[in-house]
């Protein structure tokens, strides 16, 4: 652990560097959050969350089975905890993005506070705890999705709360059963809340169970697993009954996309600086394990509780790595897949800091500096997208067209225009249709027929596909040709992580002509670090 010389280095050198990194991240988060609150449309994958939350706020079924098999096609890919919370807020303020994003921001702040407590229970020194928090905050995916109206930050908060409660439980004497069972119920409930916010966070359940087994608490592990399974089955049955069987149908429809190696390689390149941060985790794990077993003379007393932290962190990291590996191999995977891996990475870094010589921490600081540069770059691109997004919204609101049905990749645009969207969660349907021979071609033919008949009052699709640039995001050449023959481009605007083109039927009379946006924010493009192109 920290010795006298280490403390002198900490005070003279490390703390000033840590403070500088801290203030840089605070500024970048403040900038990103302030800009996100101004964006009227989805920044990345927020539209489906808004639609599901609005449905619950209006007492409609967000998991209607018929919407999976006939148009308009709607799929709610996540359980309802987040949507129920936002739906209640929508009853007060209406369907807008700023409360959704504020919930994510608050959840990240709570996560950081609880993470500090987790690192404390893990036996980390003060500087190790702070470095762990800086590592977590330096993931550009955490920065980006902390300002997105999505399920990720709420699910992460529940997972970290469950881990904190488990570590408190692990400090109880083994014969103190009076307080262990209630605490175990709390842990299982928090795990359930995380899993019913986003399915991936169910990983904390086997991770905690494995840590209990490693700590020779077989009965407690079996009880915990049984309690978690019972709560999950009961909750799923209640929700499925309330949604007329639609909940489980939507969950099954959204899961199990095929793994594609080329897609995995492409998505890894999107991670940018996050890859460097993730590379710290296996090194930190080895250092933490070796450091723990080297200090045998301190194995008694509070030090023995560090074993629970190391085991749980290693188990969670292993399970999360496997899940992220598979998740990034899906055709339409997004970078938010690694958020569940970012937190155990930060935890392992915090645990390992006290076991390495201080000069080696320079590697961590260099990686953090690179991550900060990337976040600053993305923040600049986000700032350039807000004004054209607002201008595009104003033009679409003023345009005259039928709101009965529109084709858009971002269903929040349809909600804002009080129109009916053809899709909610378009990627989910495309990857499911492509898995069944003939289904994709059948539905694409139906869409092209509606385009040719001008049944869509308006069309909003990404500019890259509109310019026939390969690889296509969603729409192939035949669909684009049909759109170009029957619709005209009116405006370009950033939304849903891409530049989007707004089309109206060629017979529609409109005032303004197409206006080019000056740079957009493209988190899901060929690379989040690449410059956006204006076709």
DSSP 235-268: HHHHHHHHTTTHHHHHHHHHS-PPP-HHHHHHHH
pLDDT at residue 469, as a whole number: 86
Cβ neighbors of 22 (< 8 A, separation 6 or more) are 130, 134
pLDDT at residue 200, as a whole number: 93
pLDDT at residue 6, as a whole number: 57
* Segments of the chain with pLDDT less than 70: 1-12, 172-179, 295-305, 508-535
Range 159-162, long-range pairs (CB < 8 A, 24+ positions): 159/190, 159/191, 159/194, 159/201, 159/204, 159/340, 159/343, 160/111, 160/114, 160/115, 160/118, 160/343, 161/114, 161/190, 162/187, 162/190, 162/191, 162/194, 162/204, 162/208
Query: 444-482 in b/e burial notation, b at 16+ Cβ within 10 A?
Result: beebbebbeebbbbbbbbbbbbbeeeeeebbbeeebbeb
| Per-domain boundaries in the chain | 4-377
pLDDT at residue 534, as a whole number: 40
The answer to whether 68 and 251 are in contact (CB under 8 A) is no
Question: Looking at residue 531, what DSSP letter applies?
Answer: P
Question: Looking at residue 502, what DSSP letter applies?
Answer: E
Cα distance between residue 306 and residue 120, in whole Å: 10
pLDDT at residue 213, as a whole number: 84
Q: What is the number of residues in the chain?
A: 535
What does pTM read for this prediction?
0.90
pLDDT at residue 3, as a whole number: 52
The answer to whether 403 and 498 are in contact (CB under 8 A) is no
Cα distance between residue 219 and residue 210, in whole Å: 12
pLDDT at residue 306, as a whole number: 72
The answer to whether 382 and 523 are in contact (CB under 8 A) is no
């Amino acid at each position: 652990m920290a010795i006298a010389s280490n403390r002198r280095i900490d005070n003279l050198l490390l703390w000033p560097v840590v403070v500088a990194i801290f203030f840089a991240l605070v500024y970048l988060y403040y900038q990103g959050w302030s800009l996100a609150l101004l964006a009227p449309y989805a920044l990345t994958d927020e539209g489906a969350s808004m639609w599901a939350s609005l449905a619950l706020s209006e007492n409609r079924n967000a998991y209607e089975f018929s919407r999976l098999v006939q148009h308009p096609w709607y799929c709610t890919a996540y359980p309802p905890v987040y949507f129920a919370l936002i739906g209640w807020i929508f009853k007060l303020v209406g369907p807008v993005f700023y409360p959704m994003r504020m919930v994510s921001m608050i959840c990240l702040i709570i996560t950081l506070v609880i993470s500090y407590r987790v690192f404390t229970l893990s036996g980390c020194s003060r500087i190790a705890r702070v470095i762990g928090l800086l590592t977590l905050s330096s993931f550009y995916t955490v920065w980006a999705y902390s300002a997105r109206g999505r399920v990720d930050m709420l699910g992460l908060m529940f997972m970290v709360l469950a881990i904190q409660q488990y570590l408190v439980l692990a400090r109880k004497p083994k014969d103190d059963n009076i307080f262990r069972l209630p605490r175990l119920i709390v842990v299982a409930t928090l795990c359930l809340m995380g899993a019913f916010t986003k399915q991936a966070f169910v990983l904390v359940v086997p991770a905690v169970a494995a840590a209990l087994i490693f700590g020779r608490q077989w009965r407690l592990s079996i009880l915990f697993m049984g309690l978690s399974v019972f709560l999950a089955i009961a909750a799923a049955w209640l929700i499925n009954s309330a949604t007329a069987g639609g909940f489980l149908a939507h969950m099954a429809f959204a899961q199990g996309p095929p793994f594609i190696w080329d897609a995995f390689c492409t998505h890894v390149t999107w991670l940018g600086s996050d890859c460097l941060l993730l590379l710290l985790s296996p090194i930190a794990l080895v250092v933490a394990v070796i450091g723990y077993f080297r200090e045998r003379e301190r194995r008694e007393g509070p030090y023995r509780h560090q074993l629970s932290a190391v085991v749980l962190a290693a188990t969670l990291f292993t399970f999360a790595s496997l899940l992220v590996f598979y998740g990034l191999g899906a055709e339409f995977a997004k970078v938010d897949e690694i958020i569940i891996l970012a937190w155990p990475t930060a935890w392992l870094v915090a645990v390992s800091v006290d076991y390495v010589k201080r000069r080696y921490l320079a590697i961590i600081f260099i990686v953090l500096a690179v991550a900060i540069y990337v976040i600053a770059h993305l923040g600049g691109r986000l700032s350039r997208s807000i004004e054209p997004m607002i201008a595009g919204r104003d033009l679409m609101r003023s345009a005259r067209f039928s709101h009965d049905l529109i084709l858009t990749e971002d269903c929040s645009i349809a909600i804002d225009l009080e129109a009916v969207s053809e899709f909610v969660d378009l990627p989910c349907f495309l990857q499911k249709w492509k898995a069944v021979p003939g289904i994709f071609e059948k539905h694409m033919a139906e869409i092209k027929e509606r385009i040719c008949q001008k049944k869509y009052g308006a069309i909003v699709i990404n500019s890259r596909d509109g310019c026939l640039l390969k690889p296509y995001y969603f729409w192939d050449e035949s669909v684009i040709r049909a759109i170009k023959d029957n619709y005209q481009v009116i405006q370009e605007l950033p939304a849903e992580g891409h530049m989007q083109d707004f089309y109206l039927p060629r017979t529609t009379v409109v005032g303004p002509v197409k206006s080019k946006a000056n740079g957009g924010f493209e988190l899901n493009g060929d690379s989040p670090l690449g410059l956006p192109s204006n076709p």
